[in-house]
Amino acid sequence: MVTKLTLEYDGGGFAGWGRQPGRRTVQGELEEALQTILGPRALDGGPLRATVAGRTDAGVHAWGQVASYRHEAVDPMRLNGLIGPDVAALRSEPAPEGFDARRDARSRTYCYRVLARRARSALERGRSLWWAGRLDRQALHECAAAIVGRHDFMAFTPTETEHERFERTVLRAEWRVLSPAHGPEWQSPEGGEQDGALLECWIEADTFMRHMSRVLVGTMLDVAAETMTVEQFTRLLEGRPRAEAGKTAPAHGLALASVSYA
């Protein structure tokens, strides 16, 4: 018997998904709650452990994370009574025998939020990256279009990595503009009046490498700020060194939006 569990969480208070000694993690908190209800052992006799579709880093949120474990399904209301208020079980359902949340996932979708306006936001704090400088939206759209397809993303993951292959297939990438954002109008650097905007970068791929989404967004923002050209960005998709790409965007703007299965 295998259970598929759908979760959402605010990553701000966690050191990431994976268990780490002496640190609060989503996996650690979830497994402790499951073991309180079901006991320490899975139905196959081994330790009761949760496998996850996407191992989020410290500070990264999730709207539709998927985990699996080898035991019966638990009422989400009961489970939520044993875990902190910044993580919630949305659905708990029986899965086919052998189901593995990570191995069986066809794609993952991440969303990165950017608040582009002069004034910072009290409401979006911890949910989006505040960007008060120049931002060429057309450049963002061109960068997103360039990453669709199969490319070598070595420039977009840390140099010290366990990955042996860096090719990934991006199925969909786009910037969406939700405008105006909360708050007053502000003066653009070019002198014209414009509303602040909340922008979202949506990327769906077969798999992601560590920091891949955040480095992609950070580098796209460099292009939008005119410190890099679209052509330079496109060349990075040919397996260039990490040093040639931009900074890693802060974790708090990123969320694992959903996971797709066959």
**Which of 10, 44, 57, 152 is flagged as catalytic?**
57
CA distance 124 to 200: 13
Write the CB contacts of 144 (distance below 8 Å, at least 6 apart in sequence): 173, 174, 175, 201, 203, 220
Active site residue 57: yes
| Nearest residue to 149 (alpha-carbon basis) of 170, 166, 131, 163 | 170
b (16+ CB within 10 A) / e for 188-204: eeeeeeeebbbbbbebb
CA distance 204 to 169: 9
Catalytically active residues, by annotation: 57
